[in-house]
């Protein structure tokens, strides 16, 4: 659903929950409020890194992705909890439910942030009042703090929500960019990662203002089409709509995990690959999707990372197939140095329903390449009726799964149900 506004100035909100995991834990247990709190993985394993922390912990130097041992050294009184993803998922659902009661034009982008198009929710001059009402409602009903950015487009709203935390409300107007946005270091611009920032600095681009004024042709020579896109954003231009259906757009589904220790033991590696393939299968089936490419990511002990992929002749969704082709890539490309992390991703994703509509009988027979399949279809249809596969798909869709650390977009439509 893409909404067009005739002759109206758009008013876009970006809602960003503050220290979300830590805030949810504090809402659950009020004794934690005001304490230096961190959410981290298993401290006995390398995965014991800081996922997020409270502002009290951040004041002591505790940062996201910091090893737990380092965080404890900086902040001896640090309270450490393991993640409770069911709790975070429930809080996220409740938060988006509140937003959807203001307007149906809500686009979740992750568990703790999303956009709202409130253009038709009242006059623009009432936008700050509306934001305050939303912020207060989330705080009073869920006991969770958030920051809200208000702007005429998604990019500026996102930048605005980062400017004042916690519990901030910031308006970013295009006519004020020269004093509000442009002085910021280029690294602080949303959409500019470390590698892009390095390239821009070599072009003498050190602030967002420098990027806004840079010749587009020069930027495209270095960054391709992304150079033009970033220049537009730096100048406050972003035509993207707030699209509630965007959560259903996905091109790949993957799972990755760090090993407890660097290893060359094939049994350990294979066990992890089974776990990863199972995760990918589960997520594919939840999405009712299949894929036609497989990618393997290997990160070595020296942090060098390689990704290798293979285009397949057929669509896959089962863990056995995912595992088979992932192992094939491992055998071809692993140099037998110690492995730190593995990732398996199925790419070129399509929904089964869409494929079914696209394939005629001739194509279907060619793709299947397996007479047993037709026999099984006939037998199941005779026993259970011709809509057996439709009922099977519906049963999977209703299935409730326990989320893993790889949330991505698997459950972001929960608030609609």
Catalytic annotation present for 56: no
CA distance 92 to 112: 6
Residue 112 known to bind ligand? yes
| Residue 190: how many other CB atoms lie within 10 Å | 14
Residue 242 structure tokens: 């707030």
CA distance 406 to 415: 19
Q: Which of 25, 44, 45, 113 is catalytic?
A: 113
Residue 76 structure tokens: 């001896």
398: left (phi over 0), alpha (psi -120 to 50) or beta: alpha
CA dihedral 48, 96, 167, 71 (to 10 degrees): 0
Q: Is 400 helix (H, G, I), strand (E, B) or coil?
A: coil
CA distance 228 to 219: 7
Residue 16 known to bind ligand? yes
CA distance 44 to 408: 26
- Short-list 342, 343, 347, 344, CA closest to 316: 347
Question: Tokens 């990160």 appear where?
Answer: 299
CA 335 to chain centre: 31
Residue 353 structure tokens: 């329903």
Q: Is 267 helix (H, G, I), strand (E, B) or coil?
A: helix
CA distance 306 to 295: 10
Residue 51 structure tokens: 């996922």
Could you tell me if 375 and 337 are in contact, meaning their C-beta atoms sit under 8 angstroms apart?
no
Residue 235 structure tokens: 């100048």
Strands (E), 42-132: 50-53, 79-81, 106-110, 113-117
Residue 35 structure tokens: 């304490």
- Binding residues are 16, 112
* Catalytic residue IDs: 113
- Binding residues for Mg(2+) are 16, 112
């Amino acid at each position: 659903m893409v909404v067009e506004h005739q002759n109206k100035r758009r008013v876009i909100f970006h809602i960003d929950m503050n220290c979300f995991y830590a805030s949810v834990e504090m809402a659950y247990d009020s004794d934690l409020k005001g304490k230096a709190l961190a959410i981290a993985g298993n401290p006995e394993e390398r995965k014991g890194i800081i996922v997020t922390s409270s502002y009290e912990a951040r004041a002591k130097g505790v940062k996201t992705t910091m090893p737990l041992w380092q965080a404890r050294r900086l902040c001896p009184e640090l309270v450490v909890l393991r993640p409770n993803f069911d709790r975070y998922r429930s809080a996220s659902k409740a938060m988006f439910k509140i937003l959807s009661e203001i307007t149906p034009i809500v686009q979740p982008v992750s568990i703790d942030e999303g956009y709202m198009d409130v253009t038709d929710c009242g006059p623009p001059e009432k936008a700050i009042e509306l934001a305050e009402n939303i912020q207060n409602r989330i705080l009073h009903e869920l006991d969770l703090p958030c920051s809200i950015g208000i702007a005429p487009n998604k990019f500026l709203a996102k930048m605005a929500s980062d400017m004042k935390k916690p519990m901030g409300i910031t308006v970013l107007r295009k006519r004020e960019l020269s004093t509000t946005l442009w002085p910021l270091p280029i690294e602080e611009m949303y959409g500019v990662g470390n590698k892009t920032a390095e390239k821009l600095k070599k072009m003498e681009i050190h602030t967002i203002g420098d990027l806004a004024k840079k010749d587009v042709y020069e930027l495209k020579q270095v960054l391709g089409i992304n150079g033009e896109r970033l220049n537009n954003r730096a100048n406050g231009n972003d035509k993207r709509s707030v699209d509630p259906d965007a959560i259903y757009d996905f091109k790949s589904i993957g799972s990755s995990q760090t090993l407890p220790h660097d290893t060359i033991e094939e049994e350990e590696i294979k066990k992890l690959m089974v776990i990863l393939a199972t995760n990918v299968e589960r997520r594919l089936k939840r999405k009712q999707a299949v894929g036609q490419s497989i990618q393997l990511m290997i990160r070595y002990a020296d942090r060098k990372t390689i990704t290798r992929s293979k285009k397949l002749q057929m669509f896959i969704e089962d863990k056995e197939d995912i595992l088979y082709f992932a192992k094939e890539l491992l055998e071809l490309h692993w140099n037998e140095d110690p492995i730190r992390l593995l990732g398996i991703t199925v790419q070129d994703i399509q929904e089964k329903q869409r494929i079914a509509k696209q394939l005629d009988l001739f194509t279907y027979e060619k793709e299947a390449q397996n007479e047993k399949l037709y026999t099984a279809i006939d037998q199941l249809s005779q026993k259970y009726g011709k809509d057996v596969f439709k009922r099977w798909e519906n049963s999977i869709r209703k299935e409730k799964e326990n989320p893993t650390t790889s949330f991505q977009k698997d459950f972001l439509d929960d608030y609609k149900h």
